[in-house]
Structure 1
Amino acid sequence: MAQGAKKTPLFARPRTWIIAMLAVAVAGFAISIELSRIHYFTHTDPGYNAICALNDKVNCEQVARSPYAVFLFMPISWWGLAAYLALATIAAAAGRVGRRHRGFGAGILFVAALLSVVVAGILAWISHFIIQSLCLFCMSLYFVNLILLVAAALLLRALRQNPVAAVVADVRHLLRQPALIALFAAVALIPSALVAWKLPVYWQHLGWKELPELPAGIDPNGAHWIGATDPVLTIYEFSDYQCPYCRFAHKSARTMITAHADKVRLVHKHFPVDAACNETVRTTFHDRACEFALAAECASQQDQFWAMNDALFAIQDRVRPDKIDPVYLAEQLGLDMPRFRACLTSAEPLARIRQNVDEGIHRKVRGTPTFFIGAQPYAGGFSPEVLRNALQVYEAMSQDRAAP
C-alpha cells in the first residue's frame, strides 16, 4: 500500500459481507435442523412437547402439524436445509472465486436472499392468518433471511454494483465455468432428491374417514367408549374439541387402540377449556369448546356421538373454529334436526358435560388432552410403547385374578 493511502474500512470491504452471509447461512442451516427435528417428533411421538409450544397462538407443533409444513413431498424445514446449504456454498465460492473475478456471486446471493425474504413473507402470512399460530424458530428464520438480504445489498454497495449488472456478470461467469454450475446444482438438488427418495413419509396419517370402525357404546356412568366390548385395559381421555393438541392426540390414540381392539377401550371425557361450562377457566380461551361438546352430547341421543366427535375434529383441519356450525355438521350426519336443536337448549347434556369437568378437576387435570391409563396421567398423549407395556401389565393382572 502506498504511503498515505487510506485503509478500506471493514464495512466497506466485500469480503466482510461475504463472510457475514456465510455465517448467517450456517445459522439458518442449524435452525432448519432443529425445525426438522421438531417436525419429525411432532408427527411420530404423541407425548412430545417442543420447547417452542407455548400456547395456542405461539406453537411450533401446531404449525408443524399443518399441511402447509410440507411442500412438494418434503417438509419445509428440509427445503430450508437445502436452501441454506446452497447459499453457504455460493458465499464460500464467492469468497474464493472473487479473488480472481471481483464481485462474483454478489448478484446470485442478492437474488437468492430476496427470494428467501419473499418466501418468508408468504409463510408468515400463512402462519398468522390460516394456521393462526406462530412458530418461534420459523420467525427466527424470517429474521435470518432479512439479514441475508441486508448483507447481500451491502455487498453490492461495497462492490459498487447494481443488482441487475451483478446478476448478468454472475451468469456470464457461470456460463464460462460449467464446473461451478455442476457444483451448485449438486449442492441444491442431490441432497433434496435423496431425502425425498429415502425419507419415510412420517407426516401422513390416517384421515378421519379412514379410521377403522370399532365397537362403541355408553358405560354405566354415561361415558362414551370405543374399542373393546370386554376390555383388559381402559384408557380415559379428557379432551376439548377446540384444542389442536386434542385433535392430533385423539386420532393417534384411536389408531393405536385399533391394533388391540379386542383388549383396549378408549373412554371420552369432556373437559372444555371454556368458562361457559368449566369453572376453572377464568379467561376467554376456547370460547366454543362447550358448544362443540354440547353438539357431541346431543348427537349421542341419536347414537351418533363418535360420528359427531370425528366431524368436529376433522373440520378443524381446514376450517377455523369460529367458522364452524355444529348444526350444519348435524345435518351432514343425517340427524333428526328438530330433535337435535331441542337438545342443544336442554339442561341434561350440559349437566353431563359439567359432570365430566368435575371428574377432571377431581383427577387434577391441568390441561388437554390428558389420558389416564390406570391412575397414571399422560398429558398430551402416549406412545405405542407405553400402551404395549400397560397392556402387558393389565393382562398379567387379569390372568392372576383368573388363576384358581
Structure 2
Amino acid sequence: MFIPRWQVEWQSIDHNQSQISITPASTGMNPVIHQGTGKTLPYRYYAIPVFILLLLGLADTGYLIYSHYRNYTDISFSSFCALTKAINCDTVSQSPWSILLGLPLAIWGLFSYLLYLIIFLAASRRTKGSESLWHLLFLLGLLYSIASIYLGYVSATKVKAYCLLCLASYGISFSLCYYAWIIRRRFCADSFWRGVKQGTNYLLNSWTLTGSILCLVATLFFLKANLPRYWEYTLPPPSKTAAQGLTAEGNPWIGAEDGEITIHEYMDYLCFQCRKMHLFLRRLIAEHPGKIKLIHHHYPMDHEFNPIVVPEPFHAGAGKMAMIAIYAASKGKFWEMNDELYTIAQGKESFDTRTLGEKTDFTAGELAAASQHPQIREVLLYDIRQGMKLGITGTPSYVIDGKVYEGSMPGEILQKIMK
C-alpha cells in the first residue's frame, strides 16, 4: 500500500536512540520521509519523469514508424540519423528484422508504450489498491528491457548497424523499469508476486482500465489485418512488360532497344536502395516502354570481390549472387533470376541455391557450380573494374550520357522519362 499522507521525521538524540515524530503534512503534498540523512521525495517526483519518458517513447516510435514507411515508399528518403554504415537508422529500417509478426517493429513499440501509459495513468489516480499496478508496470518494464537487449543483439550480429532512435528507445525501456522498481520499493508495502496478483485483480475489476486495454489490443489487430504491406513488393514480369536482350559486351538490358534514354545501373543484390530503385525503374519501363533502355552491371559491395572499394567485410555473399545472375544471363533467364535474387535478399534466411533453383528452373548443383566458376568470376570482375574506372564507390549508381549519379537519379531525368 502507499504510505499515508504523513510527514515522518527522525531526530537523532544520541548514538544509542532515536526519536520519531509523526505529524500530518500541512501542505497536502505526498509524503517526505527523513531518516538520518536519507530522503524519500514525494510521489510526483518519481511519477513525472515516468510520464515524460512515456511521451519521449511515443515520439520516438512515432518517428520510427514514419521513417520505416518513407524508406519503403520514397526513393529519395534519408532519415536524419543515417550517419555512417554502423550508425544508420535507414539500414535498420530496411532490414527484414524491422518486421515482427506481420507489422513494423516500431508499431509494436508504439503500442507497448501506450499500454504502459494506460496502466500508469490508472496507477497515478491513487485510488484504493491502485498502487499495486506499479508491480505490473515493473514487470512490463522488465519485459521491455529484455526485448531491448535482444534487439540490440540483433542489430549487432544480424543487421550490423545501429539506429540512434532505437538505442534511445532501449534507454527509455531501461529507465521505465528502474523508475517502476524505485516506486514499488518506496511506496508499495506488498511483496512483488503478491503485488502482481493484487495489481492483476485491480486491473480485471476496473472496467475503465480493462476496456482501455481491450480497445488498444483491438486496434492492434485491426492494423495487422488492414495495414497495407508496403514493405513487400513484387516486380512486374519482364517478359510481359518490355523487350530484353544482351549488349555487345554481354550485359543484360531491358526496355526499349533504341530508347530515348539509356541508363547503366551498377547494382548490389544485398543493397536495399538497389532493390527499391530497381523496382521503381522497372515500373517506369512498364509504364513508358519506348523511352528507357536499362543496362545492368554488377557491382557487389562484397569485400571478397571488391576489396579496393570495400576493404572490410560487408555484404558477404553479394558477389556469388552476382555470379549466379551472370550464369542465368547466359541461359536467357537473367531478369527472372535478377528478380528472385532481390526477393531472397529481403528475407532473413541465408542464401540457399536449392531454394533458388526450385524457383528459377535451375538445379542447385549448377547454381553452386556457377558461384565458383573462374570464367564467370572474371566476367564479374570486369564489371567491377569498369565501375571503378568511373569512380563508383557505392550502390546504386547510374551512368547516363557519361555522367555518374550515386544513390538516385536527378529529378529532371525522371521528369523527362515521365512526360
Q: TM-score range by the shorter chain?
A: 0.7 to 0.9
Superposition pairs for residues 10-89 of structure 1, below 5 Å? 11=40, 13-54=42-83, 58-89=87-118
Q: Distance in 2 between matches of 1:277 and 1:342?
A: 15
Per the alignment, do residues 369 and 10 of structure 1 end up closer, same or farther by CA in structure 2, a change over 3 Å counting? farther
State the shift of 1:213 in Å.
5.6
Q: Distance in 1 between matches of 2:354 and 2:250?
A: 23
- Could you tell me whether the CA contact under 8 Å between 2:135 and 2:195 is conserved in 1? yes
Structure 1 range deviating more: 41-50 or 288-297: 288-297
Q: Give 2:29's aligned residue.
A: none
- Could you tell me whether the CA contact under 8 Å between 1:299 and 1:335 is conserved in 2? no
Per the alignment, do residues 112 and 260 of structure 1 end up closer, same or farther by CA in structure 2, a change over 3 Å counting? same
Structure 1 range deviating more: 26-35 or 214-223: 214-223
- Could you tell me whether the CA contact under 8 Å between 1:231 and 1:263 is conserved in 2? yes
Q: Distance in 2 between matches of 1:119 and 1:339?
A: 39
The alignment partner of 1:49 has SS state of: coil
Q: Distance in 2 between matches of 1:376 and 1:75?
A: 37
RCO higher in structure (CA 8 A, sep ≥6)? 1
Aligned length, in residue pairs? 387
What do residues 133-176 of structure 1 show as CA deviations (whole Å, max 9, x unaligned)? 44332232222212111111111111233222222333343455
- Could you tell me whether the CA contact under 8 Å between 1:19 and 1:91 is conserved in 2? no
The alignment's TM-score, normalised by the length of structure 2, stands at: 0.76
Q: Distance in 2 between matches of 1:327 and 1:196?
A: 32
Where is the helix percentage greater, Structure 1 or Structure 2? 1
Which structure has the larger Rg?
2
Overall identity of the aligned pairs, in %: 25
| Gap regions ≥5 residues in structure 2 | 1-6, 12-20, 23-31
Q: Give 1:359's aligned residue.
A: 386
Where is the strand percentage greater, Structure 1 or Structure 2? 2
Q: Distance in 1 between matches of 2:269 and 2:8?
A: 76
State the shift of 1:58 in Å.
4.7
Q: Give 1:390's aligned residue.
A: 416
Q: Distance in 2 between matches of 1:162 and 1:138?
A: 33
State the shift of 1:256 in Å.
3.6
The aligned amino acid for 1:142 is Y
Q: Give 1:397's aligned residue.
A: none
Q: Distance in 1 between matches of 2:222 and 2:307?
A: 53
Q: Does 1:245 align with 2:273?
A: yes
Structure 1 range deviating more: 363-372 or 30-39: 363-372
What do residues 287-331 of structure 1 show as CA deviations (whole Å, max 9, x unaligned)? 5444333332233222233333334333333366xx536698568
State the shift of 1:268 in Å.
0.8
State the shift of 1:109 in Å.
1.3
| Gap regions ≥5 residues in structure 1 | 394-404
Equivalent of 1:218 in 243, 246, 250:
246
Q: Distance in 1 between matches of 2:221 and 2:371?
A: 55
Q: Give 2:341's aligned residue.
A: 312
What do residues 106-140 of structure 1 show as CA deviations (whole Å, max 9, x unaligned)? 12312322232243344445444554544332232
The aligned amino acid for 1:228 is A
- Could you tell me whether the CA contact under 8 Å between 1:114 and 1:149 is conserved in 2? yes
Q: Distance in 2 between matches of 1:329 and 1:267?
A: 23
- Could you tell me whether the CA contact under 8 Å between 1:208 and 1:310 is conserved in 2? no
Q: Distance in 2 between matches of 1:272 and 1:248?
A: 16
Equivalent of 1:379 in 400, 403, 406:
406
Q: Give 1:108's aligned residue.
A: 136
What do residues 217-267 of structure 1 show as CA deviations (whole Å, max 9, x unaligned)? 112343221122332222221112343433343334323432223322221
Per the alignment, do residues 70 and 276 of structure 1 end up closer, same or farther by CA in structure 2, a change over 3 Å counting? closer
The alignment's TM-score, normalised by the length of structure 1, stands at: 0.79
What do residues 342-379 of structure 1 show as CA deviations (whole Å, max 9, x unaligned)? 895444x4454344334323433221111244456543
Q: Distance in 2 between matches of 1:378 and 1:11?
A: 62
What do residues 185-217 of structure 1 show as CA deviations (whole Å, max 9, x unaligned)? 44x346546655775442231168799664211
Per the alignment, do residues 222 and 113 of structure 1 end up closer, same or farther by CA in structure 2, a change over 3 Å counting? same
- Could you tell me whether the CA contact under 8 Å between 2:118 and 2:209 is conserved in 1? no
The aligned amino acid for 2:131 is G
Q: Does 1:291 align with 2:302?
A: no
- Could you tell me whether the CA contact under 8 Å between 1:87 and 1:112 is conserved in 2? yes
Equivalent of 1:261 in 279, 289, 294:
289
